[in-house]
Amino acid sequence: MGSVGAKDVPVLMTEDGRRIDGRRADELRPLRIQAGALRQADGSAFVEWGANKVMAAVYGPREVHPRHLQENNKAIVQCKYNMAAFSVDERKRPGLDRRSQEISKVIAEAFESVIFVEEYPRTSIDIYIEVLQANAGTRCAGVVAASVALADAGIPMVDLLPAVAVGKVAGHVVLDLKKEEDNFGEADLPMALVPQSGRLVLLQMEGHMTRTELSKALDLGVGGCRKIYEEMKRALRERYAPTGTASAMEVAA
């Protein structure tokens, strides 16, 4: 196999502004959310977003393990993000690596800032995110799934937490990067938004953007999060107040 050269980089943006999968810069991949997908967990959700498939399960508030992590004045939020060995093209080595530790940490911190943790001292709220199929944006899909799972578990929160990655691809600021765009693009910027207040509780960036591009990317991401928010609410309504309408809706810009 030869080395990857410029000729191997796919066309990420056509002259008439279409992306590798035909989307416009401000379009989301199709998103389907099922609230309450698992029987055992206190709350759960399954998210299919483009080619991503992500399951989230939530337990708690429950006894803290290990005990020494217990806090007397609030609940702790623990998150375990895991990518299945079969979730990517090249088999991923199973188990904890630095990437999953980092993602677990930023997701736990994001949720700690929206859950009313003071109401449940000396307990733990445990979030498990299992990526079954990955195609970029899995941490955002994980946040969306976990957020619906937390609501399904009845855990009081300021708001649901929609999340999406924006980025720069072939010189264009675009919403919701897929794998090729993430691999060959210039920047990737995942974010999670508290819709009511407009507060960002997760914001990371890999790559480079100008200040103007960053500002445009944030606006695009906030708009994307607001659409995702509607689908999250729909999934919860579907579970708790079914109307007999279609079980899932495809969200597109």
Q: Which stretch binds ligand CDP (CB under 6 A): 40-48, 58-66, 137-145, 212-220?
A: 137-145
**Residue 185 makes contact with ligand CDP by CB under 6 A:** no
**Residue 137 makes contact with ligand CDP by CB under 6 A:** yes
Q: What is the dihedral of CA 103, 108, 109, 114, to 10 degrees?
A: 130
Among 56, 107, 134, 161, binds ligand CDP (CB under 6 A): 134
Binding flags for ligand CDP, 141-180, as an x/- string (CB under 6 A)? ------------------------x-------------x-
Angle at 224 (CA atoms; ends 54, 88), nearest 5 degrees: 30
Quick one: 66 or 95, whose CB is closer to ligand CDP?
95
List residues bridging with 79 in a β-sheet: 127
From CA 187, how far away is CA 166, in angstroms rounded? 8
Which DSSP category does 99 fall into? Answer: H
Number of residues in contact with ligand CDP, rule: CB under 6 A? 14
Two tokens at 222? 């906030």
**Residue 84 makes contact with ligand CDP by CB under 6 A:** no
**Owner of token pair 């579907």:** 238
Specify the pairing of strand 124-133 against strand 172-175.
Answer: unpaired
Residues near ligand CDP (CB under 6 A) are 88, 92, 99, 134-139, 165, 179, 182, 188, 190
